[in-house]
Amino acid sequence: MKKFELHLDAVIVVALLFVLSLGVNYVLYTLYSAEAKANVKLQIQSQVDQLNLASMQAYIDKMQAKQQ
């Protein structure tokens, strides 16, 4: 029967890789979260700008109709 040996350096490497992967995932999550919030803010601002533009265009059309 073969004897199973677990080397200390292998355990250290596996633990280090695990901790590093958690760290990288956390950093990427925070970056993604910040970008997602900025994206939502820009989308809302785009909708507000489109509504303002439509309102201004309607006012311009109304004023042109009055002049003619």
**What is the 3-class SS of 27-55, one letter each residue?**
HHHHHHHHHHHHHHHHHHHHHHHHHHHHH
Q: Give the Å distances, CA to CA, from 52 to 17, 37, 48.
A: 52, 23, 6
Distance, in Å, from the CA atom of 31 to the CA atom of 20, rounded to the nearest integer, reads: 17
Provide the pLDDT for residue 14: 95
**Number of domains present in the structure of the chain:** 1
Q: List the chain pLDDT tens, one digit each, 68 residues.
A: 778 788 899 999 999 999 999 999 999 999 999 999 999 999 999 999 999 999 999 999 999 999 98
Query: Does 52 map to a domain?
Result: yes
Q: Which domain holds residue 62?
A: 35-68
Query: Does 27 map to a domain?
Result: no
Q: Whole-structure pTM over 0.95, yes or no?
A: no
Provide the pLDDT for residue 62: 95
Query: Does 9 map to a domain?
Result: no
Provide the pLDDT for residue 9: 92
Query: Does 14 map to a domain?
Result: no
Provide the pLDDT for residue 47: 98
